[in-house]
Amino acid sequence: MSSARNNLFVILSMFGVWQITYWAIGDLALRPPLDTIRNAWSLIGSEGFMAHLNETLQAFTFALAIAVTVGVALGFCLGMNRLAGEVGEPLLVSFYSLPKITLYPIVLLIFGIGMPSKVAFGAIHGIMPITIFTLGALRNLPPILGRTSKVLRLTRWQSVWTILFPAARPEIFTGLRLGFSLTLIGTLLGEMFASQRGIGFLLMQAIGLHDTDRIMALTFLIVGFAITASLMLLAINRHLRHGAA
Amino acid sequence: MNDTTIDAAVHVGLRGVTRVFGTDPKTRVEALGPIDLDLRKGEFFAVVGPSGCGKSTLFDIVAGLSPATEGRAVFEGHELNGRAVPEGIGVVFQEDASFAWLNVADNVAFGLRRAGLGEAEITRRVDDTLTFMGLRDFAAAYPSQLSGGMRQRVCIARTLVQRPRLILLDEPFGALDQQTRLIMGEELLKLWRETGATVLLITHALDEAAMLADRVGVMSARPGRIIDVVETPWGKDRDSRVVSDPRFGEITAHLWTRLRDESMAALSHKAA
């Protein structure tokens, strides 16, 4: 209950800061919160919006599925093999710190303009944090768990599935939360720079027309979606950590 | 070379067992042995020794977790080769090995589920074990909600529920306070009496060894060898009150006399 109250307080504070910033800057660059909510509502009801939203959600879902599958699998492969982990981790961290946007021309050359490149670009953003967190989660597991799986006479697969994965799950899930946000960013960036459909495309179009109402409404919807999803994932993460605390 | 035959009546037998880590002459470590030791079926045997003498290495070899470099280690006639832990051996470690994501009942049932027992049999055995270990009221609790002593009890229960014929304990009460250790020691004696299992306890606490064991093996500094085996006069119904028996002081004093020089040797090893 107090957590819900804290969240509400944070949201109201953000609206307050937004309103104050609007008073300070004015109509040139911002719209006030209430106007933005109204604009967002009418944008949702406008013709064609749902098709764009559907396009973005589809690309994001595929990208996230790829990021989670590849990230967790790669993290397990590197985390279970010490040598592979020691070789792979510095490469992963270097790649993680690279501005991914510099790779976008190559992604476009490989996948072309459209859904595949958006999915690929979104997945590239999500895979790294998920892999790094999965690798770290496995590496930080206490060695006693490995010895315990031996004395319980588990096979390698049983050991991974029934002991190592559940023990590493809270930290892996933290990586998934981060991967979720970065995959969303990657997908939207993909739509902004080389796409004819999707929320990112609408945003780029609004920027081109200097349509501040639309820019603010779209940003509000994207941020609203990201915060809601993040809070839900955080709640699941807390639930998972309850047992591991 | 010594005679490597092991009598069929011996529950666990070690003949000329050694353990060497590494092959490079400059860095290789002779950790253990040679050790000859017989554990009789149903006896409670404790091993004490100076820090770093190879107690845990000995434990790993008997548990089937690590192979001997030389010699033979046998449990119920089966060679212990370090590749797998044989059926019938239950192990409790010093560290907390409870599974944080499972509640107490599921922790205890874990091994039985992996072994493919029926759910009714699992429920019956888990209930019996939880009652025996005084954990019945905590069946739905998670390890994070329990004290260190209670978590160690969960680990013992998880081992016990599988009805091992040989129970191996590697300093299981090492992280607990003195009062809890005494109580846990009494519970250990109770479960030993009721299960009839053979128990091998590795400990650094001389009083714990003297109170719990039928026989106490004293190990030398590295490479650890058994330099003395001390028999205790307590009956099977013993409990923590034996600490007030005058003979208890004599036994612990004798153990310390045997151990003192070895501990000094172990310390000078470390300093070097």
Rounded CA separation A92/A88 (Å): 6
pLDDT band at B4 (very low <50, low <70, confident <90, very high): low
Domain assignment present for residue A18? The answer is no
Average pLDDT over residues B24-28: 82
Residue bearing tokens 């050359």: A109
* pTM confidence score: 0.78
Domain assignment present for residue A152? The answer is yes
Domain assignment present for residue A138? The answer is yes
Residues in chain A: 245
Domain assignment present for residue B117? The answer is yes
How does pLDDT run across B65-89, given as a tens digit for each residue?
A: 999 999 999 998 888 888 888 889 9
Least confident of A69-78, A90-99, B210-219: A90-99
Domain assignment present for residue A135? The answer is yes
Contacts of B100 in chain A (CB under 8 A): 167, 243-245
Average pLDDT over residues B148-162: 89
How many domains in chain B?
A: 1
How does pLDDT run across A109-150, given as a tens digit for each residue?
A: 898 888 899 999 999 999 999 999 999 999 889 989 999 999
Domain CATH code at residue A102: 1.10.3720.10
Partner residues linked to B164 by β-bridges: none
H-only helix segments in chain B: 55-63, 104-114, 119-132, 148-160, 178-195, 206-212, 246-271
Domain assignment present for residue B223? The answer is no
Quote ipTM for the complex: 0.84
- Residue A144 and residue B144: Cβ atoms within 8 Å? no
Instruction: Tokens for B54, please give them.
Output: 């190879």
φ, ψ for residue A98, nearest 5 deg: -70, 135
Name which of B72, B94, B85 is nearest B181 in CA terms: B94
**CB contact, 8 Å: A160 with chain B?**
no
- Residue B85 and residue A150: Cβ atoms within 8 Å? yes
For residue A230, the enclosing domain spans 52-244
Whether the per-residue pLDDT at B269 is higher than 70: the answer is no
DSSP 8-state secondary structure symbol assigned to residue B224? B
Domain assignment present for residue B123? The answer is yes
Domain assignment present for residue B58? The answer is no
Instruction: Tokens for A51, please give them.
Output: 């098709």
Domain assignment present for residue B155? The answer is yes
Domain assignment present for residue A43? The answer is no
Domain assignment present for residue B115? The answer is yes
How many domains in chain A?
A: 1
| Helix orientation angle between A33-45 and A49-80, rounded to the nearest 10 degrees | 100
Domain assignment present for residue A11? The answer is no
H-only helix segments in B23-80: 55-63
Give B24 to chain A, closest Cα distance, Å: 21
Rounded CA separation A9/A117 (Å): 39
Per cent of chain A over pLDDT 70 is 97
Name which of B133, B139, B171 is nearest B153 in CA terms: B133
Domain assignment present for residue B209? The answer is no
Residues 6+ apart with CB under 8 A from B44: B189, B192, B198, B199, B201, B212, B213, B214, B215
Domain assignment present for residue B108? The answer is yes
For residue B125, the enclosing domain spans 95-163
Average pLDDT over residues B118-143: 90
CB B111 within 8 A of CB B163: no
DSSP 8-state secondary structure symbol assigned to residue B172? T
- Residue A167 and residue B99: Cβ atoms within 8 Å? yes
Domain assignment present for residue A28? The answer is no
